[in-house]
Chain A
Amino acid sequence: MADVRLHQIKKSFGSVEVLHGISLDIASGEFISLLGASGCGKTTLLRIVAGLEGATEGRVELGGQDVTGLPPEKRDIAMMFQSYALLPHLSVGENVRFPLRMRGIGTKAEQRERVAEALETVQLGHLAERKISQLSGGQQQRIALARAIVSKPKVLLLDEPLSNLDARLREDMQVELIEIHRRLGLTTIFVTHDQEEALSLSDRIVLLNKGKVEQEGAPDEIYSNPATPFASSFLGASNLLPATVRHSGGTAIAELEDGQTIALPADTAEGACTLALRQEDITLSDEGDARLTAEVATRVYLGARSRYILRLAGQELRVLTGTTPTHEVGSRVGLEFDPDRIRILPPETDKTSKDT
């Protein structure tokens, strides 16, 4: 167990800079998620911590020791790959024993004991003699996890380890990861593009966007108080509405692009802004006397709930509601929400940032 410190990490591939100076302090025993869309540099950052990639600039410290120039085998880390990277010519047991054998940890008997223990942790103790090719995807994933934790590394690096599993297995593994982390207390860096995984697993989320830290904080903090439109739309699929705030007669009014207005708390600053509203915070009513109306573009039936795609002021708006009453496609509906649930964010500077 050790803390990890990244100081002003920059990375360029050729003339393209993909990481623009990332600094991060990770406490000993912390479970931290690097969250971001593909191409945001999260895996590159993880590989720099592992030593598989050299940073162009900056410093990596593990447990207070500067390891920037050290090759991966000299760093006390373990990494679990998205593809699992199990060695096909070795048995399951030999795969799990591999890091112990290569790092020269313990005697043969001790190694055997630790392998058995690690396999027990992932509940696959009975498969030690199997060949890798005889395992299912879910089993391979667990073996890869067992192999990563068997040497009790200072830092455990997980590179999208759950993304190749089907939904049920993934949920099971999330629970298991939480339990393993609680039991072993390993400093863990978890790379994912799945906000739900990041929210449910981590002590802290670092949201990356285009090679920069967009926001970092505890899951509930980052979810309920996103600092930027990107953070807001990436976490929890917020609806973003560009608006202009005006003060009139002691109240603040936000005017949307189509002229409709929303009352905001009086202390809201004037000027251009982005309003963020979560899809689960909106309820729909018949048009009637609602203060905000929109047109129904699509209705998606999800079983327990329905998702409506609405058109409002040239924007798409997603709303998650109960299944009744139903609103017809093409009709106008009223939007009801608690004004306190609206978050006022700086105006979106770069429209494309949502899609990258």
Chain B
Amino acid sequence: MSDRAENLILALPGLLLLAVAFFVPIAQMLLLSVQGEEGLTLANFTRFLGDPYYLGVLWRTVRLSLLITAICALIGFPLAYIMARIGPRMRLWLIVLVILPLMTSVVVRTFGWMVLLGRSGLVPDILRSLGLAGRNFSIMQTESAIVIGMVQVLLPFMTLSILGVVSRIDTRLEEAARTMGCGFGATLRTVVLPLALPGIVAGSLLCFTLSASSFVTPNLLGGSRIQVLAASIYRSVTQTLDWPFAAAQAVILFVGVLLILVPYARLGGGTR
């Protein structure tokens, strides 16, 4: 048997699983999205793209996802660097601490944020007593609430992606940079950051896809007025029962994410 055939056989179970679990539903979704009452139609797409409300939902989804990803990277990079450079004992504790939120249900975590951020919650209370906010101040039902909740959910993905790369960077490179005139900050900027880029890119891809398609957290923290695309799809499916329109929205989300991810993944691959 040739190597090629052998490889193919080895890959077959995985490919089959992918085909059944991923490509079939995608194909079904594509079909559903162009089904009209009399044959094929693009009406669902024109309806979405012609409606400022839905365009606003799309734009909000992309904007919030980018913001969440950026914040995750800003927090995740220093955190991962500290975890990589600190002793093995402390690193273990930090990893546990970072992963811990993943071990509770998204719903429970989100309810936790609702308690903290709601009108009589801890955070607005403190802000009010510090005189930084008015009497009716609440973070709930705002985009800020969505960002705060999502960052907490997605931070582990970003941190662990970067940690994997940073812990493989030879510390002697940093020492060498120090002997060549770099202060600590300059060393981080000119040596660690460029070498950690593949990890940051990988983490960003994860964060962006997950936050663009997330539904529970934005829905609960943002409320029904501040809708993101995934929540809008959910409403089409469960409330208006307009499945073709839901499928069209899903396709738009899918294509939108791909359009952003493919060039970005190229960027990450090129620096390796």
Listed stretches B48-56, B99-107, B140-148, B168-176; interface member: B168-176
Check: B20 CB closer than 8 A to any chain A CB: no
Interface string of B103-122 (1 = CB under 8 A from A): 00000000000000000000
Contacting pair A52 B179 (CB below 8 A): yes
Given A88-B195, A89-B195, A89-B271: A102 and B173 interface contact (C-beta under 8 Å): no
Interface string of B157-182 (1 = CB under 8 A from A): 00000000000001011011111111
Contacting pair B191 A87 (CB below 8 A): yes
Check: A334 CB closer than 8 A to any chain B CB: no
Listed stretches A73-81, A233-241, A294-302; interface member: A73-81
Check: A98 CB closer than 8 A to any chain B CB: yes
Distance between Cα atoms of A280 and B179 in the complex (Å): 43
Contacting pair A73 B195 (CB below 8 A): no
Question: On chain A, which size bracket covers the interface?
Answer: 20 to 34
Check: A135 CB closer than 8 A to any chain B CB: no
- Chain A residues with CB under 8 A of B224: none
- Chain A residues with CB under 8 A of B179: 50-52, 72-73, 77-79, 157
Contacting pair B181 A87 (CB below 8 A): no
Within 8 A of B (CB), among A64-85: 71-73, 77-79, 81, 83, 85
Across chains A and B, the number of contacting residue pairs, with CB separation under 8 Å, is 59
Contacting pair A99 B180 (CB below 8 A): yes
Distance between Cα atoms of A87 and B177 in the complex (Å): 9
- Chain A residues with CB under 8 A of B241: none
Check: A103 CB closer than 8 A to any chain B CB: yes
Check: B186 CB closer than 8 A to any chain A CB: yes
Q: How far is the CB of A33 from chain B (nearest CB, A)?
A: 20
- Chain B residues with CB under 8 A of A151: 180-181
Check: B183 CB closer than 8 A to any chain A CB: yes
- Chain A residues with CB under 8 A of B175: 52, 72, 81, 85
Q: How far is the CB of A89 from chain B (nearest CB, A)?
A: 5
Chain B facing A: main interface SS: helix
Q: How far is the CB of A121 from chain B (nearest CB, A)?
A: 17
Q: How far is the CB of A102 from chain B (nearest CB, A)?
A: 4
Check: B25 CB closer than 8 A to any chain A CB: no
Which interface residue of B170, B180, B194 has the most chain A CB atoms within 10 A? B180
Per a CB cutoff under 8 Å, which of B176, B181, B271 touches A85? B176
Closest residue of A by beta carbon distance from B171 = A85
Contacting pair A73 B183 (CB below 8 A): yes
Within 8 A of B (CB), among A111-169: 147, 151, 157
Contacting pair B190 A102 (CB below 8 A): yes
Q: How far is the CB of A332 from chain B (nearest CB, A)?
A: 53
Contacting pair A102 B180 (CB below 8 A): yes
Per a CB cutoff under 8 Å, which of B172, B180, B191, B194 touches A103? B180
Q: How far is the CB of A73 from chain B (nearest CB, A)?
A: 5
Given A88-B195, A89-B194, A89-B271: A79 and B183 interface contact (C-beta under 8 Å): no
- Chain A residues with CB under 8 A of B177: 87, 98, 102
Contacting pair A98 B178 (CB below 8 A): no
Interface string of A85-99 (1 = CB under 8 A from B): 101110000000011
Contacting pair B176 A102 (CB below 8 A): no
Contacting pair B178 A52 (CB below 8 A): yes
Closest residue of A by beta carbon distance from B179 = A79
Closest residue of B by beta carbon distance from A78 = B179
Q: How far is the CB of A21 from chain B (nearest CB, A)?
A: 25
Q: How far is the CB of B199 from chain A (nearest CB, A)?
A: 13
Distance between Cα atoms of A102 and B190 in the complex (Å): 10
Given A89-B195, A89-B271: A83 and B180 interface contact (C-beta under 8 Å): no
Given A52-B178, A88-B195, A89-B271: A71 and B172 interface contact (C-beta under 8 Å): no
Closest residue of B by beta carbon distance from A90 = B194
Contacting pair B183 A71 (CB below 8 A): yes
Contacting pair A72 B170 (CB below 8 A): no
Contacting pair B172 A73 (CB below 8 A): no
- Chain B residues with CB under 8 A of A73: 178-183, 186
Distance between Cα atoms of A252 and B168 in the complex (Å): 64
Contacting pair B170 A85 (CB below 8 A): yes
Which interface residue of A99, A102, A103 has the most chain B CB atoms within 10 A? A102
Which interface residue of B177, B186, B195 has the most chain A CB atoms within 10 A? B177
Interface string of A180-192 (1 = CB under 8 A from B): 0000000000000
Q: What 7 pairs between A and B have smallest CB-CB spacing?
A: A85-B176, A102-B181, A103-B181, A99-B180, A72-B178, A79-B179, A89-B194
Given contact pairs A71-B183, A73-B186, A89-B194, a sample of 4 additional A-B residue pairs in the complex whose CB atoms are under 8 Å apart: A52-B178, A73-B180, A83-B170, A85-B173
Some 18 contacts from A to B, beta carbons below 8 A apart, are A50-B179, A51-B179, A71-B178, A71-B183, A72-B179, A73-B178, A73-B179, A73-B181, A78-B179, A81-B175, A81-B176, A87-B173, A89-B271, A98-B180, A102-B182, A103-B180, A103-B181, A104-B181
